[in-house]
Structure 1
């Protein structure tokens, strides 16, 4: 089935006695045992599994063309559970441009148990030089946050398979509708489902999807079930509701993102535009090969430094100055001030999440803010 059909139907795992078209919210924290001690209903305790969470994990598995999925209470918890599953002393190669929350996790929470090299993963020829005897994983983020770098997943998967490494990909900026890393050679895909998957800025969540059910994946599943950082039934219900419109929302985000990027690329007060859909983007051809659309995320460098960047984000009217992305409403932020004093993000960079408002209104808003 195509993504539009999977998004609507593959989360409907069970038929209730009242014949609901939309699966109801199942709030029970515990479930009846059979006389022989089994659980013929398929669930025993909601930390371990719940009908709504099982439905969410099933639809995410199908959309990402994987073998299984684990849903978590946040994107940060999803990534952290993957890092926790690695043996102490393991070495990771990660992107130099990546979500600062994960970078901070690796540099602080896992500083005593893991070693990490942050490198430019778009430079494929340099990657093998960083692989050590204890290297176990390459962590890719494509498109990256906030510079929208595109990593060649097919090329990196050839390296990871040669050295028997895990290839994990944060695909949050793409969503399952624009990119399927497993089909390109990734072992595990990560999403902050707070973003495009939720799509309405009203639910927190994260997910990991695996290409196969391996011994390592069982460690991840064990951390989810025993650690218990799982989404509530209502959170899962909201995400399932949102996924039904995800393919169509992504079309709008892609259309608006491209139009705004083209407008800003020509603006005399904009120094640079980072958007993989533009032919001038350094990895445009790779993006065109491994993505079906370029999304609604872009970053720009404005002329005039940090002061001018802050003035612009304070002057727009329709773009909400707020941290996050992927919602129906457009968001904007001065990214360096969010990431803190040790950020490597340029001080004149503005990150933009292009929503589903009419593009003429969004362009007019930027036009007056840059004037």
Structure 2
């Protein structure tokens, strides 16, 4: 077994979370079993009471799923210490999707009458969850400007129903960057639960647990898997008692569990995660520089550009500006569709984080369910193009963009 406490980040991507199983398989097999047996009735009692480790039922987890969970928890905790100076220990729970992850996190922490505070330009599914699902459960949300934390604090003081701060940074698709350190500190000052969606940045670029964050979520479908082969999501928490208690119970009862096959694909993708991110980031930086100079482009949203209003914040908390960007075409909605239809190398698809470059038009796809007036207010305009820069030769990406922008 690898000495995980003394391993580097790249080594953890490959070896982290792996435990030698009985047949000594090189890679953890796909445990395609719906249920598990006990040696005796007494052992079954002990496992159900959590008095000894063991597997019970597929919805509760299995060895394939556990390896993916443990590996991601190690990556989020890499190099961090707890209050006693010991290596930070986190628990992760793998779900069937990113939205299942968000649902578990919210419903295990909130009750009727509670309010969430968040910011504009969230992932479309998250925004719709806040607007269309949670209000029917008696849970409300308020959008605030997190670039003005004094105003955020006044809002918190004025409303004692506010219980949770929901951050998504960088945000989808405008690449808005929220100051994690300052925002999380404010949240904890007022005894709020603080959570951060780290999908765009990944633990390779950003570790929210450096700050006073309680939960980190990912759509593992994206960069963590990296190949577009499996849908999934994960919640990682620092309060081990709560993660093993109410969060695990909520997860199991909601039934948004992952499965062994998709967990296997995720683990396999994670083995090359660090190397992939290096190329993703290098290519994205060159694409952003090219687009910023193009006459057909009105604005580029990329945190690595000095022109981005959150450039300084991203430099403070991120290792690199990342692989995601968006840009505004001067011709609006029609120009956006024409551009998408003209691509030859880049792929017209939603989602992100795969080996190939994915390009989408949020106004007509991922954010079509958001009210048009809200969408525009959030900066998701009709001419906005979102781009997840892939691993192709950079010359091929740039040449494709040049011809599509003509």
TM-score, normalization: structure 1?
0.97
Which residue of the partner structure matches residue 234 of structure 1? 261
Partner-residue secondary structure (3-state), 1:110: helix
For the Cα contact (< 8 Å) 2:65–2:94, is it kept in 1? yes
Unaligned runs of at least 5 residues, structure 1: none
For the Cα contact (< 8 Å) 2:91–2:243, is it kept in 1? no
Which residue of the partner structure matches residue 103 of structure 2? 80
**Match for residue 259 of structure 1 among 286, 289, 297:** 286
For the Cα contact (< 8 Å) 2:237–2:243, is it kept in 1? no
For the Cα contact (< 8 Å) 1:194–1:205, is it kept in 2? yes
TM-score, normalization: structure 2?
0.88
Question: Matches of residues 84-123 of structure 1 in structure 2 within 5 Å?
Answer: 84-85=107-108, 86-112=110-136, 113-123=138-148
User: How many angstroms does 1:217 deviate by?
Assistant: 6.5
For the Cα contact (< 8 Å) 1:334–1:349, is it kept in 2? yes
* Alpha-carbon distance between aligned partners in 2 of 1:217 and 1:120, rounded to the nearest angstrom: 34
For the Cα contact (< 8 Å) 1:48–1:228, is it kept in 2? no
The alignment yields a C-alpha RMSD, in angstroms, of 1.4
Question: Matches of residues 1-371 of structure 1 in structure 2 within 5 Å?
Answer: 1-17=7-23, 19-35=24-40, 36-38=42-44, 39=47, 42-65=54-77, 66-85=89-108, 86-112=110-136, 113-131=138-156, 132-215=159-242, 218-338=245-365, 339-340=367-368, 342-343=371-372, 344=375, 345-371=380-406
Q: Deviations over 1:226-259 (max 9, x none)?
A: 2221111011000000011111111111001100
Partner-residue secondary structure (3-state), 1:298: strand
For the Cα contact (< 8 Å) 1:144–1:173, is it kept in 2? yes
* Alpha-carbon distance between aligned partners in 1 of 2:68 and 2:313, rounded to the nearest angstrom: 30
For the Cα contact (< 8 Å) 1:121–1:140, is it kept in 2? no
Q: Deviations over 1:321-354 (max 9, x none)?
A: 1111000011111111112262412001000111
Distance 1:179 1:296, change over 3 A: same
User: How many angstroms does 1:200 deviate by?
Assistant: 0.7
* Alpha-carbon distance between aligned partners in 2 of 1:14 and 1:105, rounded to the nearest angstrom: 40
Partner-residue secondary structure (3-state), 2:58: coil
User: How many angstroms does 1:41 deviate by?
Assistant: 6.2
Runs of 4+ in 1 over 3 A off after TM superposition: 38-41, 214-217
Unaligned runs of at least 5 residues, structure 2: 1-6, 78-88
